[in-house]
Amino acid sequence: MQTTAETLIELRDVSKVFLTDEVETHALAGVHLAIRKGEYVAIAGPSGGGKTTLLSILGLLDSPTDGEYTLAGHPVARLSGGERARIRNREIGFIFQAFNLIGDLTVAENVELPLTYRGIAAGERRRRVQEALEKVGMSHRMNHYPSQLSGGQQQRVAVARAIAGEPSVLLADEPTGNLDSGNGEAVMELLAELHRGGATLCMVTHDPRYAGYAQRSVHLFDGRVIDEATAAKA
């Protein structure tokens, strides 16, 4: 695996073992992965292959049992919970399959949330929220609650929340999994547009159609990278 000065994410020999009732489950085993700045990578593979575990480690929601993880040149595999939260807030934007908007917050408040944790001043927060919602075409719904939106609209808001903090990388976990094909296509177009604008994207998907949007696909099976392919489109 080659790394360059532009490498944003680098995993070296990362493994993850879950211990449940004294039974070891190897979710990831010896994974090497590098993602360059501005790259769009899809992680594909069957259920149980380790996609979500890999995304959790990339998103600093979990730590590897073994191996090294470097994000923007800094080792991040063995950080404290607080330090991980700080980096997550600044460097990573999440987009989930189930949107994961907070039902009691308005659209604007949901998008504002990561900025609040960063201690950004209120005026600046408002500006960034407005900008992010405009990017995804949802600024006209900023005072609505998630329950008042369609699934596709909710996912657009979730994308706005992910990009509002201007993170280094966007991690998307089956972003179209809960959407019909029309809305799914629209969200994929939105992500592609963000990529074209310079965003680094890493998306977990099991749908080959959507994996095709990425420049590169990494196939996981039983916790190991079994194949890497560069998309023709990319």
Query: In this complex, which beta carbon is closest to another protein, that of residue 56 or of residue 215?
Result: 56
Helices (H) and strands (E) in the chain, counts: 7, 10
Q: Are 42 and 234 in contact (CB under 8 A)?
A: no
From the CB of 167, what's the least distance to another protein, in Å?
A: 9
Q: What amino acid occupies position 141?
A: R
Query: In this complex, which beta carbon is closest to another protein, that of residue 119 or of residue 198?
Result: 119
Gap between the Cα atoms of 89 and 94, Å rounded: 10
From the CB of 61, what's the least distance to another protein, in Å?
A: 5
Q: Which two tokens stand for residue 129?
A: 């929220």
Host H or E run for residue 161 = helix 151-164
Query: In this complex, which beta carbon is closest to another protein, that of residue 90 or of residue 126?
Result: 90
DSSP letter at 47 equals T
From the CB of 229, what's the least distance to another protein, in Å?
A: 26
Query: In this complex, which beta carbon is closest to another protein, that of residue 36 or of residue 126?
Result: 126
From the CB of 105, what's the least distance to another protein, in Å?
A: 7
Closest to 160 (Cα-Cα) out of 123, 194, 188, 116: 194
From the CB of 127, what's the least distance to another protein, in Å?
A: 16
Give the neighbor-by-neighbor strand order of the sheet with 216-221: 92-95, 169-173, 200-204, 40-44, 216-221, 224-230
Q: Are 14 and 67 in contact (CB under 8 A)?
A: yes
From the CB of 17, what's the least distance to another protein, in Å?
A: 15
Footprint on this chain of another protein (rule: CB under 8 A): 52-53, 56, 59, 61-62, 81-82, 85-86, 88-90, 94, 96, 98, 100-105, 113-114, 116-118, 122, 161, 165, 173
Query: In this complex, which beta carbon is closest to another protein, that of residue 60 or of residue 190?
Result: 60
Query: In this complex, which beta carbon is closest to another protein, that of residue 94 or of residue 210?
Result: 94
Q: Are 204 and 177 in contact (CB under 8 A)?
A: no
From the CB of 228, what's the least distance to another protein, in Å?
A: 24
Q: Are 92 and 57 in contact (CB under 8 A)?
A: no
Query: In this complex, which beta carbon is closest to another protein, that of residue 127 or of residue 196?
Result: 127
Gap between the Cα atoms of 221 and 156, Å rounded: 30
